Every structure is written in C-alpha cells, then in structure tokens.
Amino acid sequence: MRIVIVSNKDWHRKYVDEIESRTNSNVMYLSGREEVTREKLTEFKPDWVFFPHWSYIIPAEVYENFRCVIFHMTDLPFGRGGSPLQNLIARGIYETKLSAIKCDKELDAGGVYKKVPLSLWGTAEEIYLRAAELTKEIIIDLVLNPVEPIPQSGNIVTFQRRKPADGNVELCGNLNQVFDYIRMLDADTYPKAFLETEKFRLEFSRASLRENEILADVKIIMKGE
C-alpha cells in the first residue's frame, strides 16, 4: 500500500511512522505546494492521497486521477468554506465533527468517507492538535477498512474565510465572546485577536476566563511598525 500525506502544518508529520507501521504502508509526506503534481504522484503510484491540512486549491489533474481525501472541521454540508474552526466558535458552536470527504470540483462538497466527533474547547492550537490525532486514526481506518464515500445530505451552509481584521475584539458583545476570539486565534502562524487604540495595537494569547474578567498575555506594539 502506498499513501501520500499532504499538509502545510507540521502537526501531521510526526504521525508518518505510526501510519506506516500500523498499515504496513509506504508513506510519502508532501508539504510544498509545488510538490503536489500529477507527475510526482504518478511516479509514486499512491493508493490514497490524504490532505489533513491544506491551504491551497488542489489541482483537478490531481483529484481526478487519484483517490484524494480532504478533512474539514464541520459536520458537512453545514460549514462548507473557509476558516471552519473560527467560524464555528464565533457562532457559539463548541462541538463539531471532523469530516473526511472525497476531493471534488465543488468546494467541500464531495462524498463523506467518515465523520468523528471533535471538541472545540481549548486554544486553536490545542484543537488543531486534537484534530490531527483524529485525522491519523481516520487515515489508518480508511486504509485498513476502505469504504466508498456517501453523498452529503442536509441543508448547505457556507462559511466565508475570515480575515485578520475579523479578530478585533471590539466586535464582541461580552467577555465570553472576547475569550472565544482570543482562543480561536491562538495558534502558531495565525493572526492573534487584537484591540487597537489611536497609537497602539494589543494582541492577545493564552487567555483564561474568570467570573467577571479575562486574564491573558498581551503583546503591545506601535501601530505602523
């Protein structure tokens, strides 16, 4: 069995050895956008191509010629589209499903291979690490017990990709929302929740919610620098 894992986050790289061992497979790990080509995959001849965390459009020549599986942090078809973790938490949704679906032309619309429960409590980084562990188990299960994808059913709800400006805690109406904004953006390489004054920008991380207050780390920088 030959498996390709494509991710632009190192959270998944550490699972390669375990996946190889438990599935008796040969795993190729790709992290660069330029590596995901029909030519490279044709040379490797994979049985599965998994995309546990990928920020780019997958070329049609890839998903049309190989069995490609993407992972999405919503109970599809609810929550198709960008920034699923942040969009869910911003809506006050704290329990979701991690959906493994067939990669198709329409965004997040492919048939479902498997769904598993996923908690959205903790910081964004904690949630992503939790999802990575679940992703590993789904990959192993699909390789050992392959199934055909089932078409999605239910009402379609589409999310818009959130922008860095959407992390402004001035948009929040209460402390619970401020706490959620801070933690849902608290991960490496993600723009932090922030508050701006005329001269300064305050960026928040490591928040804890008390009865009538939030304690958090804050980074203060001069605007424009």
Q: What pLDDT digit, counting tens, does each position of 149-194 carry? A: 999 999 999 999 999 999 999 999 999 999 999 999 999 888 999 9
**Band of pLDDT at residue 53, cut at 50, 70 and 90:** confident
Residue type, 1: M
Question: Other CB atoms closer than 10 Å to residue 58's CB: what's the count?
Answer: 17
Residue in 105, 87, 104 with CA at minimum distance from that of residue 96: 87
- pTM for the whole structure: 0.93
